[in-house]
Amino acid sequence: MDANQQSRANPFGMDEHCRNCPALCETRTQVVHGYGDVAADFLFVGERPSTGADEVGVPFAGDERGERFQRILQRLGLCMMGSPLERPTLQNVYLTTLTRCRDPERRPTDEEVDTCEPYLNAEIRMINPQILIPVGERALAELAREYTTTPADRLDLERDHATTVRGRGFELVPMIDPLEQTDDQTQDWVEHFAALMASDYRQTKGSRER
């Protein structure tokens, strides 16, 4: 699977007509694969496409959640100011989700997350980022299970938001859903991540303890 950095949308050419989850095929507008810089150090993972993402085909885009999320990236210099909400201009960032299709009435089932896991695994393997950013409780639990030595039930999104969780091959920096963050939580996350970006974070990859 080769990357096509001519396009930031689905640069790995993943199946845009996937029908592996029949129930979701009936409710989605489109399949939403990853978006961004294939050489990124920072990979953000949400639970599923939002309403806006389902419409525009880009994770964390197209609605109020995407706007708040992109403002956070802009404060860190990772998203160009004034770039289109539907197609943000990102630097050193890749955006993706556990599942690629949206049901507007419910969250993904465990089976649907498992079915989409090869897509996520391929993106992580191909990009080989330095830092994984799980956005929301479900993403934190799934990434912790796979990439840390800390049992997922010992992690708490409210407590671990804006902290660094050391793991197997990657560090995790959990983020509360942008729509659910208080102003103070947003500020805490931006300050923590700015300090991380200013550090020698590339030397921490492979750490095996929290």
Domain of 70, in residue numbers = 31-198
Does residue 123 form part of some domain? yes
User: What backbone phi and psi angles, to 5 degrees, belong to 102?
Assistant: -120, 130
Q: Which is more confidently placed, 169 or 109?
A: 109
User: What backbone phi and psi angles, to 5 degrees, belong to 204?
Assistant: -90, -10
pLDDT tens-digit map of 175-196: 999 999 999 999 999 999 999 9
Return the amino acid letter for 79. C
Angle formed by the axes of helices 183-198 and 64-75, to 10°?
40
pLDDT score, position 208: 34
Does residue 115 form part of some domain? yes
pLDDT score, position 3: 65
- pLDDT of 38 strictly over 90: yes
Of 2-6, 50-54, 135-139, 206-210, minimum mean pLDDT range: 206-210
Give dist(CA 173, CA 197) in Å, integer: 12
> Residue 158's CB: how many other CB atoms inside 10 A?
10
Does residue 3 form part of some domain? no
pLDDT score, position 174: 98
Q: Is residue 46 classed exposed, middle or buried when 0-12, 13-18 and 19+ CB atoms within 10 A define those classes?
A: buried
User: What backbone phi and psi angles, to 5 degrees, belong to 31?
Assistant: -80, 130
Q: Which residues contact 89 (CB under 8 A, 6 or more apart)?
A: 79, 80, 83
pLDDT score, position 179: 95
Would the CA dihedral through 69, 72, 78, 83 be positive or negative? positive
Does residue 60 form part of some domain? yes
pLDDT score, position 210: 32
Query: What's the mean per-residue pLDDT of the chain?
Result: 92
Classified as helix, coil or strand, 94 is strand
Of 33-37, 38-42, 163-167, 177-181, minimum mean pLDDT range: 163-167
pLDDT tens-digit map of 143-176: 999 998 887 788 999 999 999 998 888 899 999 9
Give dist(CA 75, CA 80) in Å, integer: 10
Give the total number of structural domains in the chain. 1
pLDDT tens-digit map of 52-94: 999 999 999 999 999 999 999 999 999 999 999 999 999 999 9
Phi/psi zone of residue 99: left (φ > 0), alpha (ψ -120 to 50 degrees), beta? beta
Does residue 42 form part of some domain? yes
CATH classification of the domain holding 45: 3.40.470.10
- pLDDT of 207 strictly over 80: no
Does residue 1 form part of some domain? no
Does residue 18 form part of some domain? no
Does residue 12 form part of some domain? no
